[in-house]
Amino acid sequence: MPRIDRVVPRHKRVGGLVKRDDDLIDVETDKAVLETPSPADGIVVQIIATDGATVAVDQILASIDTDASLVR
């Protein structure tokens, strides 16, 4: 059974610019709070895992548009 964790208040909002490795969302386990870095430069277009939501280990947490014309 996959481990399930809880999303704590996020650092980025929809429409915000992110750079690769920026802290995007923190996930709290029963033992620690883990930073989830952005996998790429881009603009946050959707936050799928809301604050306080319970998420599975392999769940998508956010969507980032990496279109080069949008990221400057």
Q: What is the CATH code of the structural domain delimited by 4-65?
A: 2.40.50.100
pLDDT averaged over the chain? 83
Name the β-bridge partners of 64. Answer: 44
pLDDT for residue 63: 92
User: Which residues have C-beta within 8 Å of that of residue 32, sequence separation ≥ 6?
Assistant: none
Name the β-bridge partners of 18. Answer: 42
Q: Is the pLDDT of residue 15 over 60?
A: yes
pLDDT for residue 1: 46
Contact present, 62 and 51 (Cβ < 8 Å): no
Domain locations along the chain: 4-65
Q: CA 59 from chain center: how many Å?
A: 10
| 3-state class (DSSP) for residue 19 | coil
**Structure-token match 């386990």, residue found:** 29
Could you report the per-residue pLDDT of 18-50, keeping only the tens digit for each? Answer: 999 999 888 888 888 888 899 999 999 998 888
